[in-house]
Amino acid sequence: MRRTRLVLAFLLFVMACALKPANANKNDKHFQWLRPPTIVVCYQDFPTYLLYRAVDFWQTRGKEIEDIIPNAPSGLCSVAYIPDTIIIRQARYRQLKMGQLAVTERRADPDGNMISSVIWFDPKRIHYRLIIEHELGHGLGLGHVNRDNHIMNPWTEKMGLDYWIP
């Protein structure tokens, strides 16, 4: 019995290491979803009209999204990560580094396939230009692109509506 527990604990440890957050790697790496993700909004008073604008931005550029749950039930929101899902949350006090508008935690398997992601937004900066489109891009598996006017440019003032994968 003890040996079985040790083997199980070891396997869980190996799985946890293999499923480390994708952004633990370089943040310019791109990942793919095996199936379109569902967006779950666990952020009270989130500006959903901006989310729908961001979803439209990505869908017109060929990215697929299965569904949007704008007011997710608390039971669903109490789960940290949900496979095949992008969860939108309000950043906790001091969760973001100084100057960060938002942060996206991406989880991927060793082959670079997205498993889930969580986007944490600063409520004071949620209305910044293109921030939801940019973070949703991370949630969809995209990394940063250091090109002026690219939506995935890491600097807000250099972000624009261009999109391509170099």
Q: How far is CA 22 from CA 113, 158, 165, in A?
A: 10, 24, 18
Are residues 84 and 116 in contact, defined by beta-carbon separation less than 8 angstroms? yes
- List the chain domain ranges: 21-158
Pull the structure tokens for residue 76: 């669903």
Is the model's pLDDT at 3 over the cut of 90? no
Q: How far apart are the first and last CA of the chain?
A: 52
Q: Is pLDDT of 19 > 50?
A: no
* pLDDT per residue as tens digits for the range 64-105: 999 999 999 999 999 999 999 999 999 988 888 888 899 999
The backbone region for 141, taken as left when phi is positive above 0, alpha when psi lies in -120 to 50, beta otherwise, is left
Structural contact between residues 12 and 3, judged by C-beta atoms closer than 8 angstroms: no
pLDDT tens digits, one per residue of 61-70: 999 999 999 9
For the whole model, what pTM was predicted? 0.82
Question: 21-158 in CATH: which number?
Answer: 3.40.390.10
Quickly list H helices, the chain.
2-18, 48-59, 74-77, 131-139
Which pLDDT belongs to residue 135? 97
pLDDT at 152 over 70: yes
